[in-house]
Structure 1
Amino acid sequence: WFLPYPNERGTLWPNFRSPLLWDMFAISTYLLTSLVFWYIGLIPDFASIRDRIKESNWWQKTRKVVYKALSFGWVGSGRAWSHYESAVMILAGLSMPLVFSVHTIVSFDFATSVIPGWHTTIFPPYFVAGAVFSGFGMVLTLLIVMREVFNFKEYITVKHLENMAKVVTLTGSMVGLAYGTEFFIAWYSGSVFEGFTFLNRAFGPYWWSYWIMISCNVITPQLFWFKKIRTNPVLLWIISIFVNIGMWFERYVIVVTSLHRDYLPSSWDLYIMTPHETGILIGSFGLFFTLFLLYARFFPAVAMAEIKTIIKSPGAKGFGH
């Protein structure tokens, strides 16, 4: 966790040299910007829902009051749309560098330590590529299901899915390059500790987790080179599941295989997940999907305001704006 900041010296003397404190500032900034970006994008849709609600009973009246408050009195005037589009563009521009900075700072949690397997300068670009890779994999997993369940095929086309598959292929290849570079640097540096750590990852007690990671993150996405596969929603969804599994195992490999064999042989041990940790893992999945489904139930799953800007008006030859 990073809130409250885990500091043994109390809240009075934070250690500004600690990557955990850097995490707190980076993640808090990223979270706040993302929430504002998300909420501003919903304001026109909240107004549309507000205007369509008929106050026939107490429940509808309550919904009307809630969506009226959420829409901040949006009326859809030209001036309001101008300010809205400017705000969206500014926040989108701020979010892009934050994607790089947040995952770079998260990588410093490992890179600034002296643990073999962690102390490497490749972690910042490696973590950024991995974040985009896993993010697109998770979005594909959720998007394809939502597309089928809510019949969004007119809005989320196969072309959109194909373009996402191309990004997954690119970032998966970058992650694979990072895996290979780690082995090369461990050999080229001449450090026996680094060399042992990476050989232990591939051929030690946790070899199975390493090769699951390689298979899911590097080999499986290469199937997207075939157009028939990257344009098939079912195959896309299956491969996205493999990407999610592979990225979970990447975290497992980075943390467990580096810590279970450190500099002191007296501290060597094998890690086995306890029932409590398994319960926390399952519970995190349950919490995420509960919040996601609640959002899909009460809020628009597709931005109505954005769809209205590109739909064809009656008798028009092109698309509107």
Structure 2
Amino acid sequence: MADLALDPRMELNPPLITSGATYAEVNQQISVITETAPPKQWYWVFFGVALPLLGLLGVCLTYLAFTGIGVWGNNVPVGWGWDITNFVWWIGIGHAGTLISAILFLFRQKWRTSINRAAEAMTLFAVACAGIYPLFHTGRPWRAFYWLLPAPNELLHMWQNFRSPLMWDVFAVSTYATVSALFWFVGLIPDLATLRDRAQNPVRKTIFGILSLGWRGSASQWRHYELAYLILAGLSTPLVLSVHSIVSFDFATSVLPGWHTTIFPPYFVAGAVFSGFAMVITLMTLARYIYGLENLITIKHLENMCKVILATGTIVGFAYATEFFIAWYSANQYERFIFMNRAFGPYGWAYWTMISCNVIAPQFFWFKKLRTSVPVMFVLCIFINIGMWFERFVIIATSLHRDFLPSSWGYFRPTWVDIGTFAGTFGLFLTLFLLFLRFLPAIAISEVKGVLHHQINTQPATAGKGGAH
């Protein structure tokens, strides 16, 4: 191993798994997380924060259902406020999971293996948080939700507007959630079988036995598994591009200055990947610390994600500049007013917060020393997520609060229900993620073994002299 450490090729391309573990040790390290109590008290600290926030979400939604959406800060002319802001933000958070799982899988990027499982779970939980807002935005969700279903008009005696991007949202997000859930579950099957075979408790053995669908690891099962995984990856890849493009159509198909622009679909997709990867780093740096997974989720994994954040952050910054250029180049006085109002109007503080977090913060990742420092990347990714929330808020609020009639200008201020609902969605997200870490393998055991096998078989010849195997 000493010869291996001195090899310059390994310094340029460090191994993904740094412990030199065997297959059995990988099994043990990942499976034991689901079989024993959390090793550090920080897990329970986070749970102690998440559960009260989840309770607050229940209180706010109950109050909202009995009182009406007037308890939100939405007003005239700001008909959309924190509800749609948070919906778009949570949908964006969920994009990194499918990108890591599907697109990087199709491009055979091995570094995805230690982070894809948690990123996929994060996708499902983020979509669950996002779905709350449009459902309750209908006012009476128990009577109105079916208006958005693609049911025959004669059945409901109603005529859905299939030309509305709000309808397209329902189709796109529900399809995205369904395919992502299938993709996540199919990837879990071999690992669920591992937990089944290790289980001593008959209840655990029965549950994992049912969920593993009779998996025995035969060659034919692996062949069918890999084909199914490849098909789902192929189906998921266009969804990464289409879902947030369709969400952007909520704005781009309008005739409102500041929204009516063709740059929104690619701009929203880049922003979604940008914020999604930042959330993955935020969660995985905490998970690797709590569970001692530094050898499986290595600096190389985190550094590669920082590079993706740098690339997508540059795209987002370019989109901001393009918007201002087009507003000037169009010679449309209303378009110019909207963008000048964004930067220097009543919401200028929000705009410059967005610029600072989304354009300036990622530039620190140009430096290898900073993008390989866990504390630095953790703090920067929190700033990026804050900035991406402000981006959605700026797009919505600044385009609505001053319309064509100065007499109807207004200002949006969130109410305690707005704030409580948003904080409560964090409680829902964190509770689901902590339960996932506790009861399911957060790292794909079978895929990590594949990377481990690849490393063993591609080590330089000098490594064999000292009996590295």
Common topology (TM > 0.5): yes
Structure 1, residues 98-122: CA drift from partner, whole Å, max 9, x if none?
1111111111000001111111111
Do residues 52 (structure 1) and 198 (structure 2) align?
yes
Do residues 28 (structure 1) and 169 (structure 2) align?
no
Choose the corresponding residue for 1:237, options 366, 378, 381: 378
- Structure 1 residue ranges, 4+ long, deviating more than 4 angstroms after superposition: 316-319
What do you get for the CA RMSD once the two structures are aligned? 1.7
Aligned equivalents of 1:137, 1:39: Cα separation in 2: 24
CA contact (8 A) 1:5 1:21 kept: no
User: What is the DSSP-based 3-state SS (H/G/I as helix, E as strand, rest coil) of the residue aligned with 2:327?
Assistant: helix
Do residues 81 (structure 1) and 227 (structure 2) align?
no
Structure 1, residues 69-92: CA drift from partner, whole Å, max 9, x if none?
111111110110111111111111
Give the deviation of 1:174 after TM superposition.
0.4
Give the deviation of 1:12 after TM superposition.
3.2
Choose the corresponding residue for 1:63, options 194, 204, 208: 204
Partner of 1:205: 346
Structure 1, residues 145-184: CA drift from partner, whole Å, max 9, x if none?
1111111111111111111111101100100011011111
In structure 2, relative to structure 1, the CA distance for the partners of 1:213 and 1:205 (3 Å cut) is same
Code of the aligned partner of 1:298: F
Aligned equivalents of 2:264, 2:320: Cα separation in 1: 10
Q: Which moved more, 1:105-114 or 1:86-95?
A: 86-95
Do residues 15 (structure 1) and 156 (structure 2) align?
no
Code of the aligned partner of 1:152: L
CA contact (8 A) 2:147 2:158 kept: no
Aligned equivalents of 1:263, 1:254: Cα separation in 2: 17
Do residues 248 (structure 1) and 386 (structure 2) align?
no
Structure 1, residues 254-283: CA drift from partner, whole Å, max 9, x if none?
111111011222321011111110100110
In structure 2, relative to structure 1, the CA distance for the partners of 1:24 and 1:5 (3 Å cut) is farther
Give the structure-1-normalised TM-score: 0.93
Give the 5 Å matches for 1:58-137.
Answer: 60-137=201-278
Aligned equivalents of 1:208, 1:46: Cα separation in 2: 49
Code of the aligned partner of 2:435: L
Partner of 2:334: 193
CA contact (8 A) 2:288 2:297 kept: yes
Do residues 183 (structure 1) and 318 (structure 2) align?
no
In structure 2, relative to structure 1, the CA distance for the partners of 1:77 and 1:117 (3 Å cut) is same
Code of the aligned partner of 1:23: D
Give the structure-2-normalised TM-score: 0.64
Aligned equivalents of 1:18, 1:304: Cα separation in 2: 43
Bigger relative CO (Cα 8 Å, ≥ 6 apart): 2
Aligned equivalents of 2:198, 2:265: Cα separation in 1: 48
Choose the corresponding residue for 1:283, options 421, 424, 429: 424
Choose the corresponding residue for 1:258, options 377, 399, 404: 399
CA contact (8 A) 2:271 2:312 kept: yes
Give the 5 Å matches for 1:293-312.
Answer: 293-311=434-452
Give the deviation of 1:318 after TM superposition.
4.7
Aligned equivalents of 2:405, 2:161: Cα separation in 1: 27
Partner of 1:153: 294
Code of the aligned partner of 2:196: R
Partner of 2:433: 292
Aligned equivalents of 1:46, 1:164: Cα separation in 2: 27
Partner of 2:410: 269
User: What is the DSSP-based 3-state SS (H/G/I as helix, E as strand, rest coil) of the residue aligned with 1:13?
Assistant: coil
Aligned equivalents of 2:146, 2:257: Cα separation in 1: 26
Aligned equivalents of 2:408, 2:209: Cα separation in 1: 60
Give the deviation of 1:241 after TM superposition.
0.4
Give the deviation of 1:143 after TM superposition.
1.0
User: What is the DSSP-based 3-state SS (H/G/I as helix, E as strand, rest coil) of the residue aligned with 1:131?
Assistant: helix
CA contact (8 A) 1:183 1:198 kept: yes
User: What is the DSSP-based 3-state SS (H/G/I as helix, E as strand, rest coil) of the residue aligned with 1:310?
Assistant: helix
Partner of 2:187: 41
In structure 2, relative to structure 1, the CA distance for the partners of 1:188 and 1:11 (3 Å cut) is farther
Code of the aligned partner of 1:275: W
Partner of 1:224: 365
Aligned equivalents of 1:170, 1:264: Cα separation in 2: 40
Aligned equivalents of 2:234, 2:191: Cα separation in 1: 22
Which ranges of structure 2 fall in alignment gaps of 5 or more residues? Answer: 1-133, 136-140, 460-469
CA contact (8 A) 1:45 1:303 kept: yes
CA contact (8 A) 2:303 2:372 kept: yes
Code of the aligned partner of 2:191: D
Aligned equivalents of 2:358, 2:425: Cα separation in 1: 22
Partner of 1:141: 282
Partner of 1:57: none
CA contact (8 A) 1:5 1:24 kept: no
Give the deviation of 1:311 after TM superposition.
2.6
Percent identity reads 59
Aligned equivalents of 1:103, 1:304: Cα separation in 2: 31
